[in-house]
Amino acid sequence: MTKTRVPPLDGLKRRMDRHRLGQATATNGHFVRETFCLSRPQAREKAKEWFDAFPKAAYWTEVESWRQLEGDQIEFTMRRLPTAD
């Protein structure tokens, strides 16, 4: 009876780590993203700041995702293009 030997996974782990590091340094989907966790009024103000600084028509600025947390806290991610070109 032949026993199947599992190959070492060190090489695969190193390749996955290198790939993830490369992905983190690349512009992830060519968008700039920033996540905030603020009170509801502060969240509205921060989103307004982004839309004022990076107009939607030029930068495709948007609230990518949001969720309400305990204590009237809002966690949200703003997304925009890096330049208006």
For 6-22, how does the pLDDT look when each residue is reduced to its tens digit (9 = 90+)? 777 777 778 877 777 66
Q: What is the pLDDT of residue 19?
A: 72
* Look-up of token digits 């920033």: 34
Residue 76, pLDDT above cutoff 70: yes
Q: What is the pLDDT of residue 50?
A: 97
Express as a percent the part of the chain with pLDDT over 70: 87
Q: What is the pLDDT of residue 8?
A: 75
Tokens of residue 60, six digits? 């495709």
Nearest to 61 by CA among 73, 69, 53: 53
Q: Is 52 helix (H, G, I), strand (E, B) or coil?
A: helix
Give the residue-averaged pLDDT of 26-44: 86
Nearest to 33 by CA among 68, 73, 65, 72: 65
